[in-house]
Amino acid sequence: MYAIRHGFGAFVSVAVLLTGTAVAAEVRAAPAPAEEAPAAAPADEKEDFGASCRTVVQGSTVTAHCQNPYPRTDRIRLHVECERWWDVDSDSAPVEVAPADYGSVTGRCWKEVRSAWITHQPADGTPDPTPVRGS
């Protein structure tokens, strides 16, 4: 009687598992409800920006070549991480790449380069927050 009860429990467990799988597949296969596309993009969506960059490592020198296909200026920085613990990692000064323009940034280590990457930041036209003193 004990073996029959456990056998029946296993059968019920498998049946529940298969039913749940079938229901999940049914839900996944169901088409999404039709929604109308908005007439205009929401105002809080940011437009695309970000120059496409390619980095070249030659010995201990890293050069990043970037091209900006977007209508917004991109501020790029090159970050170089050196392999040796005593070698100083470096971050470049920001370089602005205007729309449809190219830019390149160079960095280096004393010995081997472990990794290098580019960070992007939108260059908005807001003025410098430092106050201007009148005469």
Query: Which of 76, 69, 71, 60 minimizes the C-alpha distance to 110?
Result: 60
Query: Which of 70, 55, 75 minimizes the C-alpha distance to 123?
Result: 75
The predicted pLDDT at position 132 comes to 42
Query: Tens digit of pLDDT for each residue in 64-98?
Result: 999 999 999 999 999 999 999 999 999 999 999 99
Backbone φ, ψ for residue 107 (5° rounding): -145, 170
Higher local confidence (pLDDT), 7 or 70? 70
pLDDT band per the 50, 70, 90 thresholds, residue 111: very high
> Looking at this protein, which amino acid is placed at residue 44?
D
CA distance 43 to 51: 23
Q: Say whether pLDDT at 112 is over 70.
A: yes
3-state secondary structure (DSSP) of residue 22: helix
The predicted pLDDT at position 118 comes to 95
Contact 63, 94 (CB under 8 A): no
The predicted pLDDT at position 46 comes to 61
Query: Tens digit of pLDDT for each residue in 8-64?
Result: 566 666 555 555 544 444 444 444 445 554 555 555 556 677 899 999 999 999 999
The predicted pLDDT at position 77 comes to 96
Higher local confidence (pLDDT), 35 or 113? 113
